[in-house]
A and B are shown apart, each in its own frame.
Chain A
Amino acid sequence: DAKTTQPPSMDCAEGRAANLPCNHSTISGNEYVYWYRQIHSQGPQYIIHGLKNNETNEMASLIITEDRKSSTLILPHATLRDTAVYYCIVRFSTGGGNKLTFGTGTQLKVEL
């Protein structure tokens, strides 16, 4: 699986959009980009995933660059409850036991 690079921490004002970047320059053509988050002491929570098209769900939007070497997770209106560690993961959609390799992620702090 391709490795990812994320900033260790970011701050965001409540109500503003939080844009979390992820670099995955070695991604291969059939690897997906997944985002999870982990609120303090809880198990990680799936947010969204995509291959090459931008994706949106009730939680967030995922913007993947045309060359697929980087992506951005967007929380459109961040709240205090969005304070968490956000993990960007790339892997194949199927096979290999669907294993995920977590890095150290980005600690997002949403403040008033």
Chain B
Amino acid sequence: DAGITQSPRHKVTETGTPVTLRCHQTENHRYMYWYRQDPGHGLRLIHYSYGVKDTDKGEVSDGYSVSRSKTEDFLLTLESATSSQTSVYFCAISDSIVGNEQFFGPGTRLTVL
């Protein structure tokens, strides 16, 4: 399995507080992605990165920011968490050299009260 870890795996927080989720990879893959998954919606792309300090928005980026200062780490920040951001968040990585297979992390379950 690809070396992807997410932290924390579970988090409960209150509305209005900042939250940062971390994705860490040991595969040296170029691309990293953050998705959220909600019942009835499948996975939806929040932000992605195509290199250090190079990021772009996905289809549901409002309320989220990202940063990638090192190849191995991709951070997702909720500046002021809202109840609508309660979800399961998945990180993924891919390397365009070997194809478009994306390898997913185990997920982070976030609950905003």
Contacts and interface: CB of A to CB of B under 8 A. Distances in A.
B50 interface: yes
Contacts of B103: 46
Contacts, number: 59
Interface stretch (B69-77, B78-86, B104-112): B104-112
Contacts of A34: 100
Contacts of B33: 99
A5 interface: no
Q: What does DSSP make chain B's interface, helix, strand, loop or mixed? A: strand
By size class, the interface of chain A is 20 to 34
Given A44-B90, A103-B42, A97 B56 contact: yes
Contacts of B31: 97-98
Interface string B22-51: 000000000101010000111111001010
B63 to A, nearest CB: 19
Interface string A86-102: 01000101100111111
Interface in A64-79: none
Given A32-B100, A44-B43, A99 B107 contact: no
B100 A102 contact: no
A30 interface: no
Chain B's interface size range is: 20 to 34
Contacts of B45: 99-101
A28 interface: no
Interface in B55-73: 56, 58-59
Contact of A87 (B42, B94, B99, B101): B42
B96 A94 contact: yes
A49 B94 CA distance: 14
A86 B91 CA distance: 19
Nearest to A91: B100
A101 B104 CA distance: 14
A96 B88 CA distance: 24
Contacts of A29: none
Interface of B: 31, 33, 35, 40-45, 48, 50, 56, 58-59, 88, 90, 92, 94, 96, 99-107
